[in-house]
């Protein structure tokens, strides 16, 4: 049932697609499998590179992970015009609530960085809950980050221009591995880009009350996914798997956070930005009017999705030029 409390209106350009999205629960194995099939059918390599075949190349390979080989896809410019010292490397961590998704969920918006910045982008699979609760996904993502840093020369990017980005659960993992890299003193991260990240496990707040019923990610999805990923009593929750629990965010790299106004994660993302500012971290925050969770991934050609992508790119370009 829709919330009866006051709430901002949805962006009309996104409304038609939103109405067509299915509402799928996760409380049973059957429902979870249905959600996995939904995301798997919605995002693929072919979808990601469609229209960009002449501009970028992609390579599939396996890299070492904590529990065995992990499959990654590496995107490069077909005709690299930048020197390696100028070239950034980007680890893109996929979304899916820590329980679903593949390495192509959300990557389409980042592929513009290959063309605009000459970036080398790596997107990696990680183990999913409930089969593999946290910190499995976190440590897999950190292993991918370390692999990128250790192979920067072979990959063709400047290790001092290493960027971590992710949307939704990918934003959770991006924030988590950035904290891990700080506390393990390796590798050095130039910037983090967090798109509508899942940062808190309380599932409370005004934005949850206003928009927790909206697909493609509802309040009940969050409850079930965190139960699978963090345990029945959230016993696997700490400051790395739930970044909002970090009490000191000092020494983190410049950070970009954006979220939709109609996203249940809105308030926790705004709060995280405020905590970054409090800790002295340069942070840019955008709240996109009337946008629901994952709007740009599901409707990449909407005007506001294009605006969000342009704004992220402009911020990242500025950070890289000054790093």
Annotated catalytic, 168?
Answer: yes
**Closest C-alpha among 257, 293, 291, 261 to residue 274:** 257
Find, among 112, 118, 108, the residue nearest to 84 by Cα.
118
Beta strands 162-167; 56-63: pairing state: unpaired
> Quick check: helix, strand or coil at residue 51?
coil
State how far the Cα of 307 lies from the Cα of 296, in Å rounded to an integer: 10
Distance from C-alpha of 56 to C-alpha of 139, rounded to nearest angstrom: 29
293 in catalytic set: yes
- Of 289, 287, 257, the C-alpha closest to 275 is 257
Which residue out of 141, 149, 168, 207 is catalytically annotated?
168
With beta carbons less than 8 A apart as the criterion, state whether 89 and 119 touch. yes
Side-chain half-sphere CA neighbours of 164 within 13 A:
32
End-to-end CA distance of the chain: 48
Q: Of residues 201, 263, 267, 269, which has the active-site annotation?
A: 263
54 is catalytic: no
Distances (CA, A) of 121 to 3, 9, 194, 234, 303: 40, 35, 16, 32, 25
- The answer to whether 152 touches 159, Cβ cutoff 8 Å, is yes
Residue 322's CB is within 10 A of a number of other CB atoms, namely 8
In the numeric block, which tokens belong to residue 66?
Answer: 């904590």
Find the catalytic residue in 132, 140, 293, 305.
293
Helices vs strands, H then E, count in the chain: 12, 8
The residues annotated with a catalytic role in the active site are 168, 263, 293
């Amino acid at each position: 049932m829709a919330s009866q409390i006051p709430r901002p209106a949805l962006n009309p350009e996104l409304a038609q697609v939103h109405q067509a999205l299915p509402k799928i629960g996760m409380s049973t194995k059957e429902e979870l499998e249905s959600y996995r099939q939904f995301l798997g059918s919605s995002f693929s390599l072919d979808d990601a590179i469609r229209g960009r075949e002449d501009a970028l190349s992609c390579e599939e390979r396996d890299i070492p992970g904590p529990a065995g080989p992990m499959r990654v896809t590496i995107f490069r410019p077909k005709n690299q015009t930048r020197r390696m010292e100028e070239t950034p490397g980007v680890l893109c961590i996929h979304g899916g609530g820590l329980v679903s998704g593949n390495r192509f969920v959300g990557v389409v918006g980042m592929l513009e960085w290959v063309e605009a910045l000459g970036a080398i982008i790596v997107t990696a699979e990680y183990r999913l809950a409930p089969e593999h609760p946290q910190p499995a996904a976190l440590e897999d993502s950190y292993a991918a980050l370390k692999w990128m840093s250790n192979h920067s020369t072979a990959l063709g990017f400047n290790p001092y221009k290493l960027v971590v980005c992710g949307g939704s659960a990918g934003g959770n993992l991006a924030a988590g591995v950035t904290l891990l890299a700080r506390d393990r003193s390796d590798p050095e991260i130039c910037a983090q880009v967090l798109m509508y990240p899942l940062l808190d496990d309380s599932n409370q707040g005004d934005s949850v009350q206003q928009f927790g019923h909206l697909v493609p990610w509802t309040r009940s999805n969050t409850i079930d996914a965190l139960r699978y990923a963090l345990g029945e009593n959230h016993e696997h929750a700490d400051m790395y798997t739930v970044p909002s629990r970090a009490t000191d965010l000092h020494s983190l790299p410049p950070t970009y956070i954006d979220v939709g106004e109609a996203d249940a994660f809105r308030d926790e993302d705004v709060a995280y930005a405020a905590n970054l500012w409090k800790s002295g971290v340069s942070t840019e925050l955008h709240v996109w009017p009337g946008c629901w969770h994952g709007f740009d991934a599901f409707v990449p050609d909407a005007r506001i999705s294009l605006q969000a992508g342009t704004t992220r790119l402009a911020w990242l370009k500025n950070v890289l030029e000054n790093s």
